[in-house]
Amino acid sequence: MSLPLAISFNFLTAWEFWIGVGVFAGIYGIFVLGLQLNVGYTGIVNFGQAGFMAIGAYSAIILVVEVGVPFLLALVLSVLITMLIGVLIGLPSLRLRADYFAIATIAFSEIIRDIAQNARGLTGGNQGTISLELDNNVFFTDPWFKVSDWISDNILDPIGLSGLEFENLPLLIVVWIALGLLALGMTMLIRSPWGRVLRAIREDEDAARALGKNVLSYKLQSLALSSALGAIAGWFLAFNLQSVSQDNFEPLYTFLGYAILVLGGMATFGGVLVGSIILWTVLEGFRFLDLPLSADKQAALRFMIVGVVLILLMAFRPQGVFGKREEMVLGD
């Protein structure tokens, strides 16, 4: 189907498009679960989630390729490393006012990107981690490809889903299973007494402190869990791209995460899943539109459209698709 001005929507019928959208939506859904925990339930504004994602991806790859750690152990260690760094960042900065904490986290994220760009022997620098894998002839993604091939041979091929258009379908399946399980786990945590304390801190820190709760400790726990979710998203991003560089962790992606929060609604993990699908459908869809514009202008138009959607949403439904207005009122 096509419209005037050479706009074509043929890509909407392509499996490759929807699988690609689904993979990115799933990866950034995991990424935003951590932001939802911090912002929606704890009331702390974390602008450094892309930095945690970078640490998870880089540490897992370096442990496998450079150190020789077994793949599964490297994934676990990368999460623990990211959580430890999250706690170390939070210990001094969470004692500050909320706006200063936000500044500290975005500065931390940029420091991580600068280290990744300049520590070439450790991260591959501007060439990305593929240069590390080529130097050592050890590919971080090899174990994942074995899992992917098994899924294709034993599940997809028997039902006729094989070929290049379904190449990323195994990753889509695994990412969304992981996202579903993590969202379920986070929902159970929030409904527990621990989660109720987080909500109390969000609403009124002083009242929670008066009831004998260690507010700093709970905030650190929230930040540590958020960083772990960022690290897991980093693994899947590495599986999808097969090589990562500092450009994959720009602050823009944290702000896109906040766009997902606004779209789906605050304090709802289900909203994260829907918001991520909406955002990535719009962003990826504009890549395939045959518009009479240069590539640069079309890229700018993508973000302009997202901005307009967010403005309209804030004007007519500020709580998002699934959010509640009462969840938007955070404590000072």
Domain ranges of the chain: 2-328
Considering only 22-31, 60-69, 85-94, 264-273, which range has the smallest mean pLDDT? 264-273
> Residue 285's pLDDT band (boundaries 50, 70, 90)?
confident
Q: Which amino acid is it at 220? A: L
pLDDT higher than threshold 90 for residue 287: no
Is the pLDDT at 73 greater than 70, yes or no?
yes
CA 263 vs CA 301, 317, 319, 323: distances in Å: 19, 9, 8, 9
Range of weakest confidence among 115-119, 228-232, 263-267: 263-267
Bridge partners (DSSP) listed for residue 2: 8
Please report, rounded to a whole number, the percentage of residues in the chain having pLDDT higher than 90: 70
Q: The pTM is what?
A: 0.92
Q: How many residues are recorded in the chain?
A: 332
At 319, which helix (H) or strand (E)?
Answer: none
4-8, 31-35, 41-45, 265-269: which has the minimum mean pLDDT?
4-8
- Which tens digits make up the pLDDT trace of 311-331? 887 778 777 777 766 665 544
Task: Please state, in angstroms and as integers, the Cα–Cα distance from residue 18 to each residue in 50, 75, 165, 166, 312, following that order.
Answer: 24, 28, 10, 10, 26
Residue 258 neighbours by CB distance under 10 Å:
17
User: Residue 247 in contact with residue 53, Cβ under 8 Å?
Assistant: no
In this structure, is the dihedral angle defined by the CA atoms of residues 291, 295, 301 and 306, taken in order, positive or negative? positive
Predicted confidence band of residue 3 (pLDDT cuts 50, 70, 90):
very low
Contact (CB, 8 A) for 254 and 109: yes
Nearest to 237 by CA among 178, 190, 184: 178
Of 109, 108, 135, 107, the C-alpha closest to 121 is 135
3-state secondary structure of 7: strand
* 209-227 mean pLDDT: 96
CATH class of 2-328: mainly alpha
Angle, vertex CA 117, rays to CA 114 and CA 120, nearest 5: 130
State the average pLDDT over residues 47-57.
Answer: 97
Query: Residue 147: how many CB atoms within 10 A of its CB?
Result: 13
Structure tokens at 331: 């404590």
